[in-house]
Structure 1
Amino acid sequence: MTARLGRAYNPAMTLSIGILGLGALGTLMAWHWRDHDCMVISKDGKPVFRQLVTANNTDQLQLAHWQNENLDWLVITTKAADTLSAITPLAEHLHRIKRIVLLQNGMGQQEAVANWLSTQSKAPELWLASSTEGAYRQNHNDVVYAGQGQTLIGRYQEGPDQDTQDHDCLPSNTVYVPDMLDRLRHKLAINAVINPLTALYRCHNGELVRHSDYRQHLQRLAAEIAGLYAFLNWSLPWDLITQAEQIATATAANQSSTLQDVLQQRPTELPYINGYLLAQAEQHGYALPHCAELMTQLGN
């Protein structure tokens, strides 16, 4: 369902937006939202300086520290594993936040946040987002805008009587969709194919298609994951093998986020990608041998 695509942004409305997790994607979104009242939630309470490098320009960004002002949106762009530990210290300030949106890779953390919010009084609405924008950190302060994409946003749970006026209060460069959980599952399927394989073979995305052995591995893994989706009655709008090959080709020069984490010796998000699928499979007695083997090989 995409009937409400395009009801995205009222340019006359200035929103108050807090960002928790000012990495590459968080910095890019802050740049998109520079005409809003954008703040950063940081541990040291100091303003944050960043540079956003585009093909034609370098823009300076200075984000004030959030001083517990009312927020229209609190945008979480931390790693999935850090989500709860990042937001639980904000419990006493939740009454000042109208909406929390999780803009992250992977799945599993959404349910954990929803469960935590259900225990809080005056909890904000929970929203989800997914972006195909490309960005990476060149150094501590500089972020490179590597590829223009689309950022979709929608509620964690839709209800028939929810206020459609909320759709006019979205941050700029976001597009409302009513089926975000399905959209996240679609992205999860692609990430569960491309991310672990690029990390395993230490290769750019395009090599998964150009190298015959890698391509065969991609096809086996994609077929296995597509089988799980069919078993769970999760929708896929395309053939997963074909789509994964097309995306790997279209992003041939890219390094997946998982490969970047491996090369930088950081924990990966695979527990929230392939690990999430393995947990779903185990819950239903469904075997994912290729997926399980990859997780073992990559030390997850």
Structure 2
Amino acid sequence: MQWTILGAGAIGSLFATQLLRIGQSVNLLDTRHAQTPHQQLHPMLLELLDGSVCMCELPCIGYRDLSAIGNLLVTTKVWQVIPALKPLVGRLPETSPIILLHNGMGTAEWLLRHFPHNPLLAGVTSCGALKTDSKHIRHTGFGETWLGALNSSGEQCRELVPYLADALGHTAWSEHIGERQWRKLVINAVINPLTAVWNQPNGALLDRTEEVAALCQELHPLLVKQGFRETPETWCRQVLQVADRTARNFSSMHQDIAYHRKTEIDYITGYLLQQAEKQGIDLPKHRQLYLKVKALESTCTNE
């Protein structure tokens, strides 16, 4: 089966190399060059949890190589999704599945409008990976991966699950992928901006539980509107469990600030603020965090 990775960051590179290890055909869609030669190879070195390494070379394709695009796995930064997919509108074969697998929310609506006939899916993963340079990926932890359909055509793509399960460990189909996206969104909306502002690893939240609890309490009315029944205390425990499990890790938002990159704050906290405004709910603590991250972003990005 052919897989195409759009976004060779940490998670995209992890998925690519693990799929290749089980014998799948994998290529990378290079958005930087519209006419990337099909024969160009991108070397990758994957460092596994047991310390062993796996070296491989992945062919790069460009936007003109439409016949070479398989199951399109979109693992770019969320703010890159729409610009990266725009050149494929009206050109990508309608049989090609598109799988969104990124932090944050807010891109699915655009995807449904512009690729209405393609099988469309969303996914969430808690697999851990760190990209130390353009060719070196370190697998930092196993996790769960879930896929679910965004449209009726996407329902026909359950056959993809066993391949990802073989490559990654746990992968399963979810009939409620939107709910899983929201759960991850809440966790990201607490851990990511706090660690970015504090300039500390995820484990720092374990020493500042009052701030975590206050953010979860403030979000609770919005989560009730979304149909969740958990108490603020339950949400707080879930956030702290993730922080404990990933205590030594640095969040992606922290890393973006540290390396002078644009963050995903507009699609994480920004998305929550938009949804809250629609419901007439005020989130002052989250808005304050949002503004702090935007201030850091404006002073450290290369843009």
> Does structure 2 conserve the Cα–Cα contact (< 8 Å) formed by 1:17 and 1:75?
yes
In the other structure, the counterpart of 1:87 is 85
In the other structure, the counterpart of 2:217 is 223
Equivalent residues, number: 276
* Matches for 1:32-47 after TM superposition, within 5 Å: 32-34=18-20, 35-42=23-30, 43-44=32-33, 45=36, 46-47=40-41
In the other structure, the counterpart of 1:128 is 122
- Distance across 1 between alignment mates of 2:202 and 2:155: 40
In the other structure, the counterpart of 1:4 is none
In the other structure, the counterpart of 2:173 is 176
Flag the structure with more relative contact order, 1 or 2, with Cα contacts below 8 A and sequence separation at least 6: 1
Amino acid at match of 1:131: T
In the other structure, the counterpart of 2:139 is 145
- Distance across 2 between alignment mates of 1:241 and 1:25: 26
> Does structure 1 conserve the Cα–Cα contact (< 8 Å) formed by 2:149 and 2:155?
no
> Does structure 1 conserve the Cα–Cα contact (< 8 Å) formed by 2:256 and 2:262?
yes
- Distance across 1 between alignment mates of 2:204 and 2:264: 21
Question: The residue matched to 2:294 in structure 1 has which SS?
Answer: coil
Q: TM-score, normalised by structure 2?
A: 0.85
Q: 2:279 aligns with which of 261, 275, 284?
A: 284
1:167 aligns with 2:158: yes
Distance 1:61 1:235, change over 3 A: farther
> Does structure 2 conserve the Cα–Cα contact (< 8 Å) formed by 1:17 and 1:37?
yes
Distance 1:235 1:88, change over 3 A: farther
- Comparing 198-207 and 56-65, the one that deviates more: 56-65
* Matches for 1:47-66 after TM superposition, within 5 Å: 47-54=41-48, 55-66=50-61
Following superposition, the deviation at residue 235 of structure 1 comes to 5.6
1:24 aligns with 2:7: no
- Distance across 2 between alignment mates of 1:97 and 1:68: 12
Following superposition, the deviation at residue 221 of structure 1 comes to 0.5
- Distance across 1 between alignment mates of 2:73 and 2:95: 10
Amino acid at match of 2:227: N
Distance 1:162 1:228, change over 3 A: closer
Gaps of 5+ in 1: 1-14
In the other structure, the counterpart of 1:187 is 184
Following superposition, the deviation at residue 177 of structure 1 comes to 1.4
Following superposition, the deviation at residue 249 of structure 1 comes to 1.3
Q: TM-score, normalised by structure 1?
A: 0.86
- Comparing 43-52 and 144-153, the one that deviates more: 43-52
- Comparing 91-100 and 240-249, the one that deviates more: 91-100
- Distance across 2 between alignment mates of 1:89 and 1:235: 41
In the other structure, the counterpart of 2:259 is 264
Following superposition, the deviation at residue 281 of structure 1 comes to 0.7
Following superposition, the deviation at residue 47 of structure 1 comes to 2.2
- Distance across 1 between alignment mates of 2:18 and 2:246: 22
Amino acid at match of 1:209: L
